[in-house]
């Protein structure tokens, strides 16, 4: 029997392929921008009432600071209409925590408020923290200010209250490791009841030391589906890959299943090479009209926006086959 040499650049046929990269990838980059931009990546995503896909892209300028800019497309892949100027900029005079920019938005439609809530990283002198803003149209925004003090990021609001309170997934950073937590609030401004949800593993695991929510939690018939990123530190830098977990619908602090293997990671050139090599970093998803198709929008190597598609049912089936209840070590 002959063996063909396969390096890490090639797709292994021995693991399930859960996500299909769109052939048009990368779908957006700085070259598409109507005003000077250094890089465009890590976009939040939602569908507007008329079915248009809206991406709220992180745009980095040549100062190294980021702002957010909306891009709209009927099919969610091509013909993007990009706002001619920044849609949501840092406001460091009124919000000093935004001194060095706003990054990595996660968008949640909140039926109770009839508004979208955008959780984003506010980067200031004290480090990255989590801030929240509300909008009805992605043109005007009401800021709630800093809701999780530094160092904290990778946050998204849940669309519904949990036991009477708003709930937010976030990722505080600690010397002991950076883990996924949930916090609760009666009014979106005051937060407490912090509870650990998903811990980074240790040692040689792909998700050792640092994990974080990627897109907002995805509602499924079985509970909240979580796509999270795990960071592996190597001699030549960090590897940002994605894993899956399923959280209890009524009590999202409870992990029902967590996979051991990562399910998506840097392979394509636009994921392997960029400002930060070897990064796949989704901040948003949209769900198809069938309630199952999942469009995952992700940053490639901190340099572009790319799209991968999958099915919620496919991810749940994989978790049933490969997930464990207690898989924290
Ligand atoms: C994380 C975040 C992301 C970024 C990633 C890789 O900590 O800051 O915005 O894509 O690092 O650089």
pLDDT tens readout for residues 54-81? 999 999 999 999 999 999 999 999 999 9
**Interior CA angle at 200 toward 132 and 205, to 5°?**
140
- Residue indicated by tokens 């955008």: 118
- Which protein residue's CA is at the shortest distance from atom 2 of ligand 1? 104
Domain membership of residue 8 (yes or no) is: no
How far apart CA 282 and CA 216 sit, in angstroms, is 10
| Residue 2 confidence (pLDDT) above 60 | no
Please tell me the total count of domains within the chain.
Answer: 1
> Token match 């496919």: residue?
314
Q: Is 116 helix (H, G, I), strand (E, B) or coil?
A: strand
Q: Can you give the pLDDT at residue 209?
A: 87
- CATH number of the domain encompassing residue 114: 2.115.10.20
Q: What is the mean pLDDT of residues 2-21?
A: 65
Q: What is the pLDDT of residue 79?
A: 98
Q: Is residue 40 part of a domain?
A: yes
Instruction: Tell me the pLDDT tens digit for each residue of 253-308.
Output: 999 999 999 999 999 999 999 999 999 999 999 999 999 999 999 999 999 999 99
In a domain, 275, yes or no: yes
pLDDT for residue 14: 80
Is position 166 within any domain?
yes
Provide the total of helices (H) and of strands (E) in the chain, helices listed first.
2, 24
How far is the centre of ligand 1, averaged over its atoms, from the C-alpha of 299 (Å)? 9
pLDDT given at position 26: 98
Q: How far is CA 15 from CA 10, 19, 168, 223, 282, in A?
A: 12, 12, 33, 25, 21
Confidence of residue 328 (pLDDT cuts 50, 70, 90): low
Give the whole-angstrom CA distance, residue 305 versus residue 59.
11
pLDDT value for 285:
98
299 lines ligand 1 (CB under 6 A): yes
Please report the pLDDT score of residue 117 as a whole number. 99
Q: Does residue 46 sit within a domain?
A: yes
Identify whether 258 is part of a domain: yes
> Is 14 part of any domain?
no
pLDDT at 7 over 90: no
Beta strands in 138-287 (DSSP E): 141-148, 152-157, 166-174, 177-178, 180-185, 192-198, 210-213, 218-220, 223-234, 237-247, 255-259, 280-287
Whether pLDDT at 4 is above 50:
no
Q: Does any domain span residue 195?
A: yes
100 contacts 83 by C-beta, under 8 angstroms:
no
- pLDDT at residue 9 greater than cutoff 80: no
Strand order across the beta sheet in which 53-60 lies:
39-47, 53-60, 66-73, 81-82
Per-chain mean pLDDT for the chain: 95
pLDDT band at residue 174 using 50, 70 and 90 as cut-offs: confident
Residue 320 has pLDDT above 90, yes or no: yes
Q: What is the pLDDT of residue 11?
A: 53
CB of 104 shorter than 6 A to ligand 1: yes
Nearest to 44 by CA among 99, 109, 114, 141: 109
Name the closest-CA residue to atom 10, ligand 1. Answer: 302
User: What average pLDDT score do residues 98-118 get?
Assistant: 98
Closest ligand 1 atom to Cα of 238: 6
Give me ligand 1 centre to Cα 301, in Å: 9
Task: Give the domain range for residue 243.
Answer: 19-324
Q: Is 6's pLDDT higher than 50?
A: no
Nearest atom within ligand 1 for CA of residue 128: 8
């Amino acid at each position: 029997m002959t063996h063909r040499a396969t390096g890490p650049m090639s797709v292994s046929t021995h693991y399930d392929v859960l996500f299909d990269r769109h052939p048009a990838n990368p779908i957006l980059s700085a070259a598409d921008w109507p005003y000077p931009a250094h890089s465009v990546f890590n976009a939040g995503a939602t569908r507007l009432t008329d079915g248009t896909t809206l991406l709220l892209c992180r745009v980095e300028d040549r100062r190294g600071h980021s702002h957010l800019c909306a891009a709209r497309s009927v099919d969610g892949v091509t013909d993007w209409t990009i706002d001619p100027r920044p849609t949501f900029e840092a406001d460091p005079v009124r919000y000093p925590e935004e001194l060095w920019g706003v990054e990595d938005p996660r968008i949640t439609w909140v039926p109770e408020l009839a508004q979208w809530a955008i959780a984003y990283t506010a980067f200031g002198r004290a480090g990255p923290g989590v801030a929240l803003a509300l909008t009805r149209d992605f043109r005007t925004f009401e800021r709630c200010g800093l809701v999780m003090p530094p160092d904290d990021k990778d946050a998204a609001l849940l669309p519904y209250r949990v036991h009477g309170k708003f709930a937010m997934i976030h990722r505080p950073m600690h010397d002991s490791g950076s883990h996924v937590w949930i916090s609760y609030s009666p009014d979106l401004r005051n937060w407490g009841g912090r509870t650990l949800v998903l811990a980074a593993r240790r040692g040689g695991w792909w998700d050792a030391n640092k994990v974080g929510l990627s897109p907002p939690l995805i509602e499924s018939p079985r509970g909240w589906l979580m796509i999270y990123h795990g960071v592996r530190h190597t001699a030549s830098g960090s590897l940002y890959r994605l894993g899956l977990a399923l959280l209890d619908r009524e009590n999202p602090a409870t992990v029902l299943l967590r996979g051991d293997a990562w399910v998506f990671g840097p392979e394509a050139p636009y994921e392997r090479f960029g400002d930060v090599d070897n990064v796949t970093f989704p901040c948003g998803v949209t769900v198809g009209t069938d309630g199952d198709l999942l469009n995952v929008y992700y940053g490639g190597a901190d340099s572009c926006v790319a799209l991968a598609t999958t099915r919620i049912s496919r991810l749940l089936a994989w978790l049933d086959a490969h997930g464990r209840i207690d898989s924290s070590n």
